[in-house]
Amino acid sequence: MKFEDYRALFLVASLVSGVLAASPALSLFVSFPTSGESFSEFWLLGLDHRAESYPFNVSVDETNGPIYLGVRNHMGSSKYYMVYVKLRNQTQPLPDGSTGKPSPVPPLYEFQFFLSDDEVWEHPVTFVIHYTSSQNDSVVVHYTSINGVRFPVNSSSIWDWERNGFYYQLFFELWLYNTASHSFQYYDRFVGIWLNMTVF
């Protein structure tokens, strides 16, 4: 190799070494993108903390659960979350995945909590259907309790001829606090379980 080749190689090596040595100091002034995507995990587990053994056949005044609702923060910073608990019949809409809008079904119960990055929140949920009535080919749920707090529901379910029963869905929507608007916004995540109210 000629002297000029060694000189060019030395300059490149010096430049790379200088950038590597200065990178910790550069991080104070330059925002480097983090690897991976920012997201929040959201889950619902059955009696044994497994994705099975969910309550299904529901009787009046019988405590169901616990089922375990959980969130894990992978957003890169602390976040303020809210979870709405809702009960719908089979004709009422779920959240709309194409528009990112929550279900219009009114919430019965809510959880609010802060999570640091990579922190996990998990909470047991029990529920009781207190009073139902039947009218022709429909069932009306009048009251339910979530974690011991009683709420009026007054929601009717018609007979499902395909599955031969009266069905409701207990579901949970994840909301995230928006610091710009100073309000919670639906985070386009929900989980839920179907409930068979045929025998009550």
Q: What percent of the chain lies above the pLDDT cut of 90?
A: 69
Confirm if 40 and 95 have CB atoms less than 8 A apart.
no
Report DSSP state, residue 51: S
Q: In the predicted model, what is the mean pLDDT of residues 145-169?
A: 94
Q: In the predicted model, what is the mean pLDDT of residues 21-48?
A: 63
Question: At residue 20, does pLDDT exceed 50?
Answer: no
Domain 39-196 superfamily per CATH: Immunoglobulins (2.60.40.10)
Determine the Cα–Cα distance for residues 146 and 45; give it in Å rounded to an integer: 16
Give 168's contacts (C-beta < 8 A, 6+ positions apart): 87, 88, 89, 90, 141, 155, 157, 194, 195, 197
SS3 12: helix
Cα atoms in the 13 Å half-sphere on the side-chain side of 141 = 32
Specify the higher pLDDT residue, 173 or 28: 173
Entry pTM: 0.80
pLDDT attached to residue 148: 96
Mean pLDDT of the chain: 85
In which residue are the tokens 């018609």 written? 158
Specify the higher pLDDT residue, 82 or 9: 82
Sheet holding 64-74, edge to edge: 39-45, 64-74, 120-135, 138-146, 149-158
SS3 15: helix
